[in-house]
């Protein structure tokens, strides 16, 4: 077999006259009669190879029969391309290889889709033939960049004194906010391991063990429906430090990101990042992961709306709700009544009861509901919304959570529709001062806003029993261009505080001992103050590369239903396997 001497992306003027061997896939084959021009491709790039019938007739004939994606090796001489044929868009575009020997390493069937960045094949087909999809230059660039990002993270953390330690995949179930994947035990029938949603408890135990700076690029698992930015199995960069406070963790993270962006993307970012309190983020943007690259900030006009004669607004406020709105600069003339009806339908699809609107015209407000607002109230609305002539005002009246959520979705929808989102650059910010708990409006139960191991703000500890919803956590999230890419907090390091948090969540001391006895015991043996952060690595890379889904930065992802079209997983198990595990599949129809 011909042994490769160079890859398909490195030949240039310095190689003129050299004898080289290239190997790769046939990207294209162009027959010009006495000459066959073939583009040979590997993950490094493309090189043009020429087969001349006059000097090597047999090779020319063989080249004519090659098909796209055939695997070949070629030996030949590097020469300058003829005048007028240089390709300035290709790194190897100055030269070509004149073939002197050809070896067909493997022939290929016709692929089910074009191996190019412009393929229009469906996601299902591409995932079924992922090994072909990954030949596309776009996908290869994605995974190569991901590799460089991971290596930059490792270099920075290692140089800063962190130790990379692996934690178990098979562990016990912990409350992380999603369903666990369970693994049945063959040796302990009726018992199950849980695949980790994160290495949370183990990294805390490592702090107790004295490894004061830990990191891990960890695989994690959550049994929940996939979305564009979510998969049932995913990767996160996990970081933990001892003897620190929030400032230390945020500072290390910012320095690491500046290093990663510079090393992997040749991009400079400014540190420190801005910080926005959680309550401000919800009030101004309707979200705890705000996209601040554009305006359209939300305003609360409940006090003004409650003094109007408009029943919908008055009823919402008197019922404990709010009226939230946003101002769309200069949009009034371009939005027809049909456009506004479409926006109303959009708001209703997102959970709102309706959408109220005003056009700002000639110093007053124009709307079917303007008659319910006195001239003074109209002026107050205009002032509060910081509106100018030709602006469009949109309002949602509902419970605060619904109003914020729908206004946030409206804001995002309008920013895309009006092309307000910059296509270049990265905007990073911290969201801080999170609540410790939140109320599940469906069940009425208190749940952890992050997880039950986050430390409460010390001055709020007296409220844990009597006013838990007023307790703040020492938590922080990192947001990139409107997407949460990392989350962390300072942990509880005293067992008595941890027990009080469990009790606030309705976990009795007995239940806590049964489920978390190992953690409570560890904390009682001299646990240092500690905290950390975890990056959703897939999501982070997706945002950096400008993709719309994390499937494009994962080698072998699954569908939204958690199915792998490539391997057919999940699949049924044989009777012998089930019998060994002590499992019997229930017949749903029979029950």
Enumerate the domain spans of the chain: 13-106, 126-276+478-491+529-583, 294-417, 435-472+494-527
Q: Is the pLDDT of residue 590 over 70?
A: no
User: What is residue 177's predicted lDDT score, i.e. its pLDDT?
Assistant: 60
Q: Is the model's pLDDT at 587 over the cut of 90?
A: no
Stretch 286-302: mean pLDDT: 96
Q: Is the domain covering 294-417 a CATH 3.30.1360.30 domain? A: yes
Per-residue pLDDT at 189 exceeds 60: yes
Which class for 401: exposed (0-12), middle (13-18), buried (19 or more C-beta within 10 A)?
A: middle
Question: What are the backbone angles phi and psi of residue 51, rounded to the nearest 5°?
Answer: -115, 115
Going by pLDDT thresholds of 50, 70 and 90, the confidence category of residue 441 is confident
Grouping H, G, I as helix, E, B as strand and the rest as coil, residue 346 is helix
To the nearest 10°, report the CA torsion of 206, 209, 214, 217. Answer: -30
Question: What is the chain's Cα-based Rg?
Answer: 30
- Predicted confidence at residue 589, as pLDDT, reads 57
Please say if the pLDDT value at position 176 is more than 60. no
DSSP 204-216: HHHHHTT--EEEE
Q: What superfamily in CATH does domain 13-106 come from?
A: Nucleic acid-binding proteins (2.40.50.140)
User: What's the CATH superfamily of 126-276+478-491+529-583?
Assistant: Bira Bifunctional Protein; Domain 2 (3.30.930.10)
Task: Average the pLDDT over each of 68-72, 101-105, 359-363 and give the range with the smallest value.
Answer: 359-363
Give the tokens for residue 107.
Answer: 């022939």
The reported pTM is 0.91
């Amino acid at each position: 077999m011909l042994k490769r001497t160079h890859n398909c992306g490195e030949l240039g003027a310095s190689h003129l006259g050299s004898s080289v061997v290239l190997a790769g896939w046939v990207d294209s084959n162009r027959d010009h009669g006495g000459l066959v021009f073939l583009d040979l491709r590997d993950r490094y790039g493309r090189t043009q190879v020429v087969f001349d019938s006059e000097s090597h007739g047999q090779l020319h004939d063989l080249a004519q029969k090659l098909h796209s994606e055939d695997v070949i090796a070629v030996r030949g001489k590097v020469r300058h391309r003829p005048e007028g044929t240089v390709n300035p868009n290709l790194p190897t575009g100055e030269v070509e290889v004149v073939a002197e020997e050809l070896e067909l390493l493997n022939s290929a069937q016709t692929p089910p889709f074009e191996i190019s960045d412009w393929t229009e094949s469906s996601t299902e087909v591409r995932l079924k033939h992922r090994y072909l999809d990954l030949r596309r230059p776009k996908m290869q660039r994605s995974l190569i960049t991901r590799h460089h990002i991971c290596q930059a993270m490792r270099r920075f953390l290692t140089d800063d004194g962190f130790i990379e330690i692996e934690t178990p995949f098979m562990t016990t179930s912990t409350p992380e906010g999603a369903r666990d994947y369970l693994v049945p035990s063959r040796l302990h029938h009726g018992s199950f391991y849980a695949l980790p949603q994160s290495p949370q408890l183990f990294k805390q135990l490592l702090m107790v063990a004295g490894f004061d700076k830990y990191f891990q690029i960890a695989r994690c698992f959550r049994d929940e429906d996939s979305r564009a930015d979510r998969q049932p199995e995913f990767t996160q960069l996990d970081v933990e430090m001892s003897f620190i406070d929030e400032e230390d963790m945020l500072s290390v993270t910012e320095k690491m990101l500046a290093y990663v962006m510079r090393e992997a993307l040749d991009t400079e970012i400014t540190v420190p990042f801005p910080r926005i309190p959680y309550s401000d983020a919800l009030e101004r943007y309707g979200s705890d992961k705000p996209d601040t690259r554009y305006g359209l900030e939300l305003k609360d006009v409940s006090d003004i709306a409650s003094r109007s004669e408009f029943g919908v607004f008055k009823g919402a406020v008197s019922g404990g709700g709010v009226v939230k709105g946003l101002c769309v600069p200069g949009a009034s003339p371009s939005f027809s009544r049909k456009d506004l009806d479409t926006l109303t339908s959009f708001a209703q699809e997102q959970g709102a009861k309706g959408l109220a609107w005003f056009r700002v015209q000639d110093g007053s407000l124009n709307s079917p509901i303007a008659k319910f607002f006195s001239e003074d109230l109209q002026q107050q609305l205009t002032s509060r919304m910081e509106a100018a002539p030709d602006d469009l005002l949109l309002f949602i009246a509902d419970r605060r959570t619904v109003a914020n959520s729908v206004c946030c979705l409206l804001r995002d929808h309008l920013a895309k529709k009006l092309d307000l989102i910059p296509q270049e650059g990265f905007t990073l910010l911290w969201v801080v001062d999170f609540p410790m708990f939140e109320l599940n409006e469906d069940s009425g139960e208190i749940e952890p806003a992050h997880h039950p191991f986050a430390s409460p703000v010390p001055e709020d500890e007296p409220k844990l029993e009597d006013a838990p919803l007023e307790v703040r956590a020492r938590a922080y999230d990192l947001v990139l261009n409107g997407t949460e890419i990392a989350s962390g907090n300072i942990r509880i390091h005293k067992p008595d505080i941890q027990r009080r948090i469990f009790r606030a969540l309705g976990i009795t001391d007995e239940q806590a001992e049964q489920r978390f006895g190992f953690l409570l015991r560890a904390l009682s043996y001299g646990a240092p103050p500690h905290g950390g952060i975890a990056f959703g690595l897939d999501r982070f890379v997706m945002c950096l590369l400008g993709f719309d889904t994390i499937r494009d930065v994962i080698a072998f992802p699954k569908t939204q239903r958690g199915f792998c079209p490539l391997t057919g997983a999940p699949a049924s198990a044989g009777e012998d396997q089930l019998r060994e595990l002590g499992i019997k599949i229930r017949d749903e129809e029979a029950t």
